[in-house]
Copies of this chain bind each other. A is one copy, B any other.
Amino acid sequence: MSRSTRYTVTVQFGDCDPAGIVFFPNFLRWMDASSLHFFRTCGLPPWRELERTRGIVGTPVLEIQTRFSSPATYGDTIDVHTRIESWRNKVFVHSHRVMLGERLLCEGTETRAFVERGTDGRIHAIPVPEDIRALCS
């Protein structure tokens, strides 16, 4: 079984749209925050430090997939449960389940890659660093 983390957020008034429910891109914001929280919990330093020491800028998303089951509104406290679903050569897949208590709000996957910034200033994917993979397993 892989390691799983929980990231807790309280929904703000400004996170909700005129229908009174969370504007859905905010769920993606929270999944992104939970992804970074996962790596910090596993012992990785902030990206800005990894960039300085190893040239790793972060883990941009390559693909996402999300199913929304139930809405949330401001004042709700929600939990994002995050784990690594699979490690491949150059990418890995995060799985996120967003819960309001026992109720599933949405769940989805993010495919991400570790990237470096080249000498031309552009970013490109690198193979998943072995030590980082070991830390997170």
Residues of chain A touching chain B, judged by Cβ–Cβ distance below 8 Å, are 10, 12-14, 16-21, 23-26, 28-29, 32-33, 36, 40, 46-48, 57-58, 60-68, 71, 73-75, 123
Contact = CB atoms under 8 A, between A and B. Distances in A.
A125 to B, nearest CB: 12
A32 B47 contact: no
Contacts of A68: 60-63
A contact face: mostly helix, strand, loop, or mixed: mixed
Given A61-B68, A68-B62, A32 B25 contact: yes
A74 B19 CA distance: 12
Given A24-B61, A66-B63, A123-B71, A33 B18 contact: no
Given A12-B29, A13-B47, A19 B64 contact: no
Contacts of A65: 63-66
Contact of A25 (B10, B16, B21, B28): B28
Contact of A28 (B16, B24, B36): B24
Nearest to A45: B75
A33 B26 CA distance: 14
A122 to B, nearest CB: 9
A27 to B, nearest CB: 8
